[in-house]
Amino acid sequence: MLDSFVAADVPVLVQGATGRSGRSQTAQMVAYGTNIVAGVSRRDDPETKIPIYRNCREAVQATGARASVAFVPPLDVLPAVLEAIDAGLELIVTVAEGVPVHDALKAKAATREAGMRWVGASTPGLAIPGKLKMGFLPNVSLAPGGLGVMSKSGTLSYEVCYRLVGAGFGQTLWVGVGGDAVKGVRFADLVPLFAADASTKGIVIVGEIGGSEEEELAAALIASGCQKPVFALLAGRSALEGVTMGHAGALIQANIGTIETKTAALRKAGAVVSQSIKDLIEAVTSTLGTGG
């Protein structure tokens, strides 16, 4: 079921494969087992072992790549997304921090029009533990298991999953949707996927203040009739209104996007909303049993 979102053996190309970060991350994704088939860059790179092409279209024609992960600077994310659409790719993950919102609006409109799945604008990526990694979710936080994980914050989700793994709970699929105000794949989009996937025994949500994604997620949970246990942690209870708390999307304005509205919506949808990381780990453990 999760295959319909991303298959473990999907052939992946890397946009920006010869940059400082792109090169080292590509090597790590290959080492993790990801089927990286090509890189895209304006220049060749004698240090990389994967074939480098000038654009996505050439890379797709030569290698059959079907997904992309882009290590390009924030102002180059929109062109990278449009290039991936042009090449007919099915999925793109963009990791750059600081993508302008108006670019994200255009990328979102274009990816929707083209039917391409976009994980970004700014995200640590996604992973099927032990098999595939697109981006840089840390290995210490990854293990095969039964949790479907979706997260806004990188660091908070690293900590949560690291401790869940320590308690014996790994993941079926982990998608970092990122902390941007405007993004591609949103929490709610992943609900039908995790609800229908037999190997996913529970869903973990690492959310935060700002926007209305958690509220939409709650509505999607109700609409899907999902009976699986859902565990949520929401950061930013003590954030200052009107000030950006690190993430562009983590901005409370005039009572929209507060912890209170999100908590109420998620609880109404049957989710367990924890106030601390420790409580979340305990909720997962007591519901799913040790090492479930």
Partner 1 sequence: MMLLEHHAKEILAAAGVTVPYGVLITPGNLGDLPGIERPMVAKAQVPVGGRGKAGGILKVKAAADLRPAVEKILEMTIRNHPVRSVRLEAMVDYVAEAYFSLAFDADSATIKILVAAEGGVEIESPEMAAKLLQASALPDPASAQAALESLLPALPEGLRAAILAVAERLIPLFFEQEALLIEINPLFIRADGGWIAGDAKLLTDDNALPRQPKLRELIEANPALYPEAALKLAQGFDFVKLDPEGDIGLVTTGAGLSMQLVDEIVQRGHRPFNFCDIRTGGFKGDPSRLIQVLKWVSSGPKVRSILMNFFAGNTNLAELVPLILIALKELPELRQPITLRMTGNGFDAACAILAESGNPIRVETDLERAVEAALAVLKEPDHA
Q: Where does this chain bind partner 1 (CB under 8 A)?
A: 74-75, 98-102, 104-106, 108-109, 112, 136-138, 140-141, 151-159, 162, 179, 181-183, 186, 206, 208-209, 211-213, 216, 233, 235-250, 253-256, 275-278
Q: How far is CA 200 from the centre of its chain?
A: 17
Check if 247 is active-site.
yes
- Tokens linked to 115: 């039917």
Please state, in angstroms and rounded to a whole number, the distance separating the CA atoms of residues 33 and 45.
Answer: 21
Q: Which is nearer to partner 1, 276 or 290 (CB)?
A: 276
* CB of 246 vs partner 1, minimal distance in Å: 3
In this structure, are residues 184 and 111 in contact, taking their beta carbons and an 8 Å threshold? yes
What DSSP character marks residue 4?
Answer: G
Residue (93 or 104) nearer to partner 1, CB:
104
- To the nearest whole angstrom, how small is the minimum distance from the Cβ of residue 276 to partner 1? 5
* Six-digit token string for 87: 């090449």
**Measured from the CB atom, is 223 or 256 closer to partner 1?**
256
Beta bridge partners of 203: 148, 230
Distant-in-sequence, close-in-space partners of 228: CB < 8 Å, separation ≥ 6: 194, 195, 200, 201, 202, 203
- Of the pair 23, 228, the CB lying nearest partner 1 is at 23
Helix locations, 56-99, DSSP H: 56-63, 77-86
Please, what sign has the CA dihedral across residues 50, 53, 54, 57?
Answer: negative
DSSP label at 255? Answer: T
Q: CB of residue 114 vs partner 1: minimum separation in angstroms?
A: 13
For the CB of residue 64, give the shortest distance to partner 1 in the complex, in Å.
30
38 or 179, CB closer to partner 1?
179
CB of 134 to partner 1, least distance (A): 14
At residue 87, the 3 state secondary structure works out as coil
Is-contact 47 56, C-beta < 8 A?
Answer: no
| Catalytic entry in 247, 265, 266, 272 | 247
Question: Residue 38 or residue 104: which is nearer to partner 1 going by CB?
Answer: 104
Q: What is the closest distance, in whole angstroms, from the C-beta atom of residue 189 to partner 1 in the complex?
A: 10
E strands present in 98-229:
117-119, 125-128, 132-135, 144-151, 171-176, 202-208
263 Cβ neighbours under 8 A, 6+ residues apart: 234, 273
Q: For residue 156, what are its two tokens? A: 């908070």
Residues classed as catalytic: 247
